[in-house]
Amino acid sequence: MTVYTTITSPLGELTLVGEARATGTALRAVSITGGKSVAVQPDWVADRAAFATVIEQLDEYFRGTRTHFELEYAVEGSEFRRRVWQALDDIPYGRTATYGELAARIGAPRAALRAVGAAIGANPVLIVRPCHRVIGADGRLTGYAGGLERKRRLLELEHAA
């Protein structure tokens, strides 16, 4: 069963979507209103309590007391996307990486930079899977589904900007 809730954050309203399981809720999506957002479906069940752990960890992150997330995910993607997403998870808090560095980490050729960028752009769990830590080769901020201003704010929160 798909469950969802919305919460207020320093970046604006977040929509959390998850899959209810016997072991708890596995996170499927985190989206930001005003950015690339998830459309709530009629068969989804509103259940804020199902996201208690996610909400607690996001609150800690925004207060600056959490540097990594310990959540279960229910995210689908190709083998290539999963490799890119794992590389995102491996970027330390307070650090950034370029698209080229991520491609190298997963053993992809330089010609695969666009594919790496597309996989990053397809990341459904914004903030908790830190795609905001990926920057251009020249150090400039590049695309972010939540908008570049929010990306800048996340990097400032992490003292990476």
Give the residue numbers annotated as catalytic, written as ranges: 131
User: In which region does residue 57 sit, left (phi positive, over 0), alpha (psi from -120 to 50) or beta (all else)?
Assistant: alpha
| H or E element at residue 104 | helix 99-105
Residue corresponding to tokens 């908008």: 147
Token pair, residue 153, equals: 């704010």
Token pair, residue 99, equals: 């698209």
User: What is the number of residues in the chain?
Assistant: 161
Token pair, residue 36, equals: 């690339």
Give residue 86's identity as a one-letter amino acid code.
Q
Interatomic CA distance for residues 135 and 158, integer angstroms = 14
